[in-house]
Structure 1
């Protein structure tokens, strides 16, 4: 496994392209003709790829995700792979820039011949390649973003989300605020894009269209949120929901503390990972500033979880003992879900078989509730649990909320059990 921008196969493909102008002129798609072998599948390997922000504005919060996924695949490969094949994971840096995303994804499909694209990260970045991947019938699995755009089977039959979407997370946070902080003024700081607007829409399902006491937005290009925090303070906000990435969650909390503003903070999963926030704020002040910090999640983050124990072991052995945080659990959870799908796709997997497995509803993942895929539903998790930071430990507090239509209900978690040493078999 490797992080790569080019491979020896790139040169081979360049030569083939130069000598195959007639075939190109006939308009053959990237996924090949009916008589060709399945792209990315050989006798002993299955090759998948991804675009990730290894550099650029999102790197500090998310660059470790793909390393965790790679570590999980190394663990699977060391234990025999899937149906005798090892998984090769090509990770390409797009710098969180949609133009770069288009370039590297075309390389993955047209030059590296990947079987599928797995966990491409970011709403603006991945949106730029949706049409390309679906037109070329490339399985586009487990997009790393809570946008609702990935759940559109009619327009994008090859694309599947993974995260609990921002409507689910926003409604869960708002319901928890209503249940645990009744009568308090709830406000929001949101990213000035689909992320912020969708989390806001989720919150308004519970609070009503005028239920937020104030709503402020920020731009990722501006590392100063003093004006926004000042406006929330002046509005008398007692609970502030954050539709922010981790760096801006820390920036908001730190700025508010400097201004003497100490509301109850409630963040989406994309901006609420305690170890990552500690890295931004510093170990000296973070435990105090983040005491009582609320977030949502749908994966097994409890310190005593058997999944967390396994992932820690994999992280130590196959990820050079990198820092263990929410990104680690997320990256390995994605790897587990793909391995589960690949195992169920059979001994000679095809792209069509992979999609059929997901739409069959057989895939369960390893979350606090099972995955919910079907032919009509390409979203991932439909419920989110509430986590709370207490004494420097982030753990679930027992409240889990499911969104069905515009109805939010409290449900019991259904944590998927760890079986087979964490390697799915069929």
Structure 2
């Protein structure tokens, strides 16, 4: 694809985002246009509306998959991707609640939900823990006779292998074959984008951890249940300046070079400038980068005397950077925002390098080691349902937290549950489960979180993450 073609496509998509009123955040269309890219996986859209990986040329998802042919609003269309009329749709705060709708995945006794996660490909995630984490909260409710308006919840979990085309494939499978009520994305920026856009094309509610905003803003079915990467970057700059003494030090950012990480990168650069802090090393790397690139970057960071390194990339690549840094006896202050950074499996592997101790990462949930402080019922449930797991682990803890938040949302949607009523309830709801961030959505803003937890790696203590700040929105 020529650069001029990509720019024309970006401009067209900017118009689409401006036309889509639901959940629009300011400046996102401008960011997409400036990037010259906008797509569900950090890719570009070709003339037919197919999503193309700019590095490999692979078709990640077809136009039909993404709803860019028939379902997505344009400046001349009168409907949104979910088929609601803009003049009297969910973007209107005064609109009455829907009186009917799509009940797929809902029976008199069961609500079926689907979830996808990078069980392989991004971080060392035990698949057994991921599956148990997806189910434990709902099994605990069932064990204690707790229903959601008379219904229990069944979960289908699929591995997207940290690959956007596979994410679309498993999400389509859960919608078409498993007939789930809604979809959830646990982690993985590109995969969340790809699946969310597919879900929008078929009118399925989609919830995920906050990642990028480009390609997700404007989707009426999409709701972020933690802070996005660009929203967290001013907090990271504030943290570096207020808590970590970065004003008189050298600072860096290392990030995956896709459009889905670019808005986070750009937000960090601006936030650092606003805070009067320097960015002395700014390195973009391909998503396919491996040990040789990690070695080169660690060497450059060391040679330039970088004190603080902000990360916007996958834990697997960070572990390779940690190994290379440890071999050089280079120990910078690592910071970053990413749900998978604070898995204890990452800490256990990273502590072996000798370079992880003291790393501080933002996360939507507190560290597993502190779980009793936030919800002692979690470990009670693990011992009762999965006694072989002792007190569980952070994958199960994350699943528990996510399910507990969803429980609140399903209750608010009411007994006569439809997809339309669920999204209507979210757009007018405030939610807090005592573990994750406070959430507040509106018809105009589907990015509901404004706070994070901060965890520190304590290799010298137990090779685990420990919560050092909770529910932070400034430093």
**1:68: how far off?**
0.8
Q: Does 1:394 align with 2:465?
A: yes
- When structure 1 is superposed on structure 2, of 199-208 and 37-46 the one drifting more is 199-208
Residue 307 in structure 1 maps to residue 374 in structure 2: yes
CA distance in 2, matches of 1:197, 1:62: 30
> Could you say what the CA RMSD is over the residues aligned between the two structures, in angstroms?
3.0
Within the alignment, does 1:226 sit opposite 2:295 as a pair? Answer: yes
Task: State whether structure 2 residue 339 is matched by structure 1 residue 270.
Answer: yes
The answer on whether the counterparts of 1:68 and 1:315 sit within 8 Å (CA) in structure 2 is: no
Equivalents in 2 of 1:123, 1:318: separation in Å?
32
Distance in 1 between the 2:167 and 2:154 partners?
Answer: 20
Is residue 2:396 matched to residue 1:328? yes
Report the Cα distance in structure 1 between the residues aligned to 2:176 and 2:436, rounded to whole angstroms: 37
Structural mapping, 1:246-325, within 5 Å: 246-273=315-342, 275-281=344-350, 285=352, 289-301=355-367, 303=370, 305-319=372-386, 320-321=388-389, 324-325=392-393
Match in the other structure for 2:76 = none
State which of 154, 157, 167 in structure 2 corresponds to 1:101. Answer: 167
Of 209, 217, 231, the residue aligned with 2:284 is: 217
Q: 1:331 to 1:111 in 2, by over 3 A?
A: same
Q: Structure 1 residue 249: deviation in Å?
A: 2.4
Other structure's SS at 2:172 match: helix
Out of 345, 348, 370, the residue aligned to residue 413 of structure 2 is 345
CA distances 1:39-79 after superposition (whole Å, capped 9, x unpaired): 11111111111223344x13624854453121112112222
8 Å CA contact 2:254, 2:313 repeated in 1: yes
Equivalence for 2:446: 378
Which of 428, 431, 445 aligns to 1:360? It is 428
Count of aligned pairs between the two proteins: 368
Q: Which residue of 307, 312, 322 corresponds with 1:238?
A: 307
Residues 370 and 107 of structure 1, relative CA distance in 2, 3 Å threshold: same
Query: What pairs up with 1:44-59 in 2 under 5 angstroms?
Result: 44-55=109-120, 57-58=121-122
Q: 1:59 to 1:300 in 2, by over 3 A?
A: closer
Deviations 1:180-206 (A, max 9, x none): 313111112222224543332232233
Question: Which SS does the other structure have where 1:90 is aligned?
Answer: strand
Q: Offset of 1:162 from its aligned partner?
A: 1.8
Partner of 1:199: 264
> What TM-score comes out, normalization by structure 2 length?
0.69
Per-residue Cα deviation, 1:367-411 (whole angstroms, up to 9, x for no partner)? 464112221111132222433334345333348653xxxxxx44x
The equivalent of 2:150 in structure 1 is 84
CA distance in 2, matches of 1:353, 1:36: 7
> Is residue 101–residue 421 contact of structure 2 (8 Å, CA) maintained in 1?
no
From the superposition, tell whether residues 227 and 323 of structure 1 become closer, same or farther in structure 2 (CA, over 3 Å): farther
Cα distance in 2, alignment partners of residues 281 and 200 from structure 1? 24
Give yes or no for the alignment of 1:39 onto 2:104: yes
Distance 2:222 2:286 in 1: 28
User: In the alignment, what sits opposite 2:55?
Assistant: none
1:304 and 1:48, CA in 2 relative to 1: closer, same or farther beyond 3 A? closer
* Alpha carbons 1:249, 1:271 under 8 Å: kept: no
Equivalent residues of 1:170, 1:202 under 8 A apart: yes
For the residues of structure 1 that align with 2:100 and 2:440, how far apart are their CA atoms? Answer: 33
1:60 maps to 124
Partners of 1:207 and 1:54 in 2: how far apart?
33
Q: Where do 5+ consecutive residues of structure 2 fail to align?
A: 1-70, 72-80, 84-98
